[in-house]
Amino acid sequence: MLNNPFFCRKDALLRAEADALLGKIAASPYLHSLFADGKMMGVLVARAADGTQVVLHAFSGTARGLWRVEGFVPPIFEFSRAEVDAASPEHSRELQQWLFSQYLVRNGRGEVRSIQDIFSERGLVPPGGTGDCAAPKLLQYALTHNLEPLRIGEFWYGASPMHEVRRQGAFYPACTGKCGPLLGFMLQGLDVEPNPLESDAHWQLDEPLVLFEDASLIVADKPSGMLAVPGRESCRISLQNWLENHCGGPVLACHRLDMDTSGVMVFAREVTTQAALQRQFEGREVSKAYLARLCPCPSGESVQLKVGDKGKIVLPLAPDWDDRPRQKVDEDEGRAAATGYEVLRTLSDGCIDVRLLPYTGRTHQLRVHCAHPLGLGRPILGDRLYGGIVDGCDCDRLMLHASMLSLRHPVTGERLSISSDFRPAEEKS
């Protein structure tokens, strides 16, 4: 069964093949010169008709202007992008439509469609560069050469870009904007693992714990993997659903936590209380603290964090529209985001535990500020979006926990501080 390209997990075979390709590129001055500035690479392990194993390599886009490089699968369709770039805006749109009508891709059923048709059926317009990522190149080659895909993965080689979180050797899920609809078509007819993030099957959910409750509000400890509030297209139970069952009546969310993040959340029992609490969040009157376990320092990097180190990270964040829900650092369009940190301890496997203090509340702020090279330079362990799946460090969740929430009680006016312990799985008794 083919692994799901939209979900990163530890895979010994993929890791071995990725390491082999990384070593091959690093050992070749020519290949290194092509990819040193930073490039998403891909590997696909397949089975040929005679039962032999075949390993394919690909790179996203071009390599210093080259569409073809020996040892890597060819592009799905070659076209001079200079003609598109030089055209007038109106003519450019026509050229893009024509271009994507020429990108013909195959799926596991043997059906062939153009990228233009695949996207238009969903009421979408293909983003620029659709079809040029490593994963669709690999699948197209395999499906047109009678190869059965077994394992597929994309990882980064070269320098880390300043606008998005990428580090050499780290695996990342396929992008949602360009590759979401495209791979959705190409994978049809193949035996593909379901995306574990789309069901509770992946998670061993702990029972939520009520930390405080009175007639006005209720504070609970949310497990990692549980939705904070009901999803638009999901029947999975959320913490809000669970609390409504617990309370025997409606509760109202006042803030959010990522599904992967565990820890303290506050809910109101009625609308006026919700409004009062939301004003505190918006006015930054609420104090919050998080605990996180960060991956080991990447090999070859000299910057080391030690116990007692403190500081502040200030990096503006904006949505990565081609790869939602990922966020990126954007000095021009990003919204201000600031995080304080303190290193608490180091572990024998090279991981470190830190306390994080968010002064702002941007989406994925802590995850990006930890992983970005201008931040702490280390992804949070278990972070499948930002490169936190590493060998030698065991975890089955995002190691980020909202450990403390301090706010003014909306009725009594007293300061209310609620804490929750965070112990990684291997430390639980």
CA 371 to chain CA centroid, nearest Å: 11
- Measured over the CA atoms of residue 112, residue 113, residue 118 and residue 121, the dihedral's sign is negative
Output helix, strand, coil percentages for the chain, rounded to the nearest 5: 25, 25, 50
pLDDT for the residue numbered 429: 38
Percent of the chain at pLDDT above 90? 74
Residue 426 has pLDDT above 70, yes or no: no
Q: Taking the alpha carbons of 231, 232, 237, 241 in that order, is the dihedral positive or negative?
A: positive
- The pLDDT assigned to 372 comes to 94
Tell me what the mean pLDDT of segment 238-262 comes to.
Answer: 93
- The CATH superfamily of 200-422 is Pseudouridine synthase (3.30.2350.10)
Contact (CB, 8 A) for 314 and 338 = yes
Q: What residues are annotated to the active site?
A: 258
- Name 55's Cβ contacts closer than 8 Å, sequence gap at least 6: 17, 43, 44, 45, 46
Return the percentage of the chain with pLDDT > 70, whole number.
Answer: 91
Distances (CA, A) of 295 to 148, 256, 306, 384: 34, 25, 14, 12
- CA–CA dist 105, 69 (Å, integer): 21
Lowest-confidence segment of 231-235, 246-250, 400-404 by average pLDDT: 231-235
| Mean residue pLDDT across the chain | 90
Q: What is the pLDDT of residue 92?
A: 66
| pLDDT tens, residue by residue, 41-80 | 999 999 999 999 999 999 999 999 999 999 999 999 876 5
pLDDT at 338 exceeding the cut of 60 = yes
Q: Is 300 left (phi over 0), alpha (psi -120 to 50) or beta?
A: left
Cis bond leading into 149, ω under 30°? no
pLDDT band at 113 (very low <50, low <70, confident <90, very high): very high
Residue 381's identity, in one-letter code, is L
Averaged pLDDT, 217-242: 87
Summarize pLDDT for 69-107 with one digit per residue, the tens: 999 999 998 765 545 555 555 566 777 788 899 999 999
Domain ranges within the chain, ordered by starting residue: 12-193, 200-422
Torsion angles phi and psi, residue 196, rounded to 5: -60, -25
Report the chain's terminal Cα–Cα distance, integer Å: 36
- Whether 424 shows a pLDDT value over 90: the answer reads no
DSSP for 131-188 reads T-SHHHHHHHHHHHTT-EEEEEEEEEESSPPSSS---BT-EEPPPSSSHHHHHHHHTT
Comparing 300 with 341, which gets the higher pLDDT?
A: 341
Q: In terms of Cα–Cα distance, which of 382, 388, 392, 386 is closest to 422?
A: 382
Q: Look at residue 303 in the predicted model and tell me its pLDDT.
A: 61
Of residues 302 and 113, the one with the higher pLDDT is: 113
Q: What is the pLDDT of residues 146-194, one digit of tens each?
A: 999 999 999 999 999 988 899 999 999 999 899 999 999 999 999 999 8
**Global pTM?**
0.87
